[in-house]
Structure 1
Amino acid sequence: MASIMLSGAENLALLSNRNPNKLGFKGSDLHGKNFRRVGFVSSARVANCRTIAPKCSLSPSRPSSQPRFIQHKKEAFWFYRFLSIVYDHIINPGHWTEDMRDDALEPADLSNRNMIVVDVGGGTGFTTLGIVKHVDAKNVTILDQSPHQLAKAKQKEPLKECKIIEGDAEDLPFRTDYADRYVSAGSIEYWPDPQRGIKEAYRVLKLGGKACIIGPVYPTFWLSRFFADVWMLFPKEEEYIEWFEKAGFKDVQLKRIGPKWYRGVRRHGLIMGCSVTGVKPASGDSPLQLGPKEEDVKKPVNPLVFLMRLLLGAMAATWFVLVPIYMWLKDQLVPKGQPI
Structure 2
Amino acid sequence: MASAMLNGAENLTLIRAIAPNPKGLGFHASDFSGKHFPKLTSVSCGKLSMRPMKSRSPITKCSVSAPRPASQPRFIQHKKEAFWFYRFLSIVYDHVINPGHWTEDMRDDALEPADLYTRNLTVVDVGGGTGFTTLGIVKHVDAKNVTILDQSPHQLEKAKQKEPLKDCKIIEGDAEDLPFPTDFVDRYVSAGSIEYWPDPQRGIREAYRVLRLGGKACLIGPVYPTFWLSRFFADVWMLFPTEEEYIDWFQKAGFKDVQLKRIGPKWYRGVRRHGLIMGCSVTGIKPASGDSPLQLGPKAEDVSEPVNPFVFFSRFILGALAATYYVLVPIYMWIKDLITPKGQPI
Amino acid at match of 1:138: K
1:99 alignment partner, SS class? helix
Counterpart of 2:14 in structure 1 is none
**C-alpha deviation, 1:20, in angstroms:** 9.2
Equivalent-residue separation in structure 1 for 2:29 and 2:250 (angstroms)? 21
**C-alpha deviation, 1:241, in angstroms:** 0.2
Counterpart of 2:119 in structure 1 is 113
Deviations 1:302-322 (CA, angstroms, capped at 9, x unpaired): 000000000000000000000
Compared CA separation, residues 213 and 30, structure 1 to 2 (3 A): farther
Q: Does 1:61 align with 2:59?
A: no
Q: For residues 177-326 of structure 1, what are the structure 2 equivalents within 5 Å?
A: 177-326=183-332
**C-alpha deviation, 1:228, in angstroms:** 0.2
**Percent identity (aligned):** 82
Q: In the alignment, is the contact (CA less than 8 A) between 2:65 and 2:242 conserved in 1?
A: no
**C-alpha deviation, 1:230, in angstroms:** 0.2
Equivalent-residue separation in structure 2 for 1:149 and 1:135 (angstroms)? 22
Deviations 1:117-161 (CA, angstroms, capped at 9, x unpaired): 000000000000000000000000000000000000000000000
Deviations 1:169-197 (CA, angstroms, capped at 9, x unpaired): 00000000000000000000000000000
Equivalent-residue separation in structure 1 for 2:117 and 2:295 (angstroms)? 32
Compared CA separation, residues 166 and 30, structure 1 to 2 (3 A): farther
Deviations 1:254-294 (CA, angstroms, capped at 9, x unpaired): 00000000001000221100000000000000000000000
TM-score, structure 1 as length reference: 0.86
Q: In the alignment, is the contact (CA less than 8 A) between 2:224 and 2:275 conserved in 1?
A: yes
Q: In the alignment, is the contact (CA less than 8 A) between 1:24 and 1:40 conserved in 2?
A: no
Q: For residues 130-209 of structure 1, what are the structure 2 equivalents within 5 Å?
A: 130-209=136-215
Equivalent position to 2:47, from 37, 40, 45: 37
Equivalent-residue separation in structure 2 for 1:29 and 1:232 (angstroms)? 27
**C-alpha deviation, 1:21, in angstroms:** 4.7
Query: Which segments of 5 or more consecutive residues in structure 1 lack a partner in the other structure?
Result: 1-18, 43-53
**C-alpha deviation, 1:24, in angstroms:** 5.4
Equivalent-residue separation in structure 1 for 2:286 and 2:204 (angstroms)? 11
**C-alpha deviation, 1:221, in angstroms:** 1.1
Q: Does 1:74 align with 2:80?
A: yes
Compared CA separation, residues 180 and 103, structure 1 to 2 (3 A): same
TM-score, structure 2 as length reference: 0.84
Equivalent-residue separation in structure 1 for 2:253 and 2:175 (angstroms)? 15
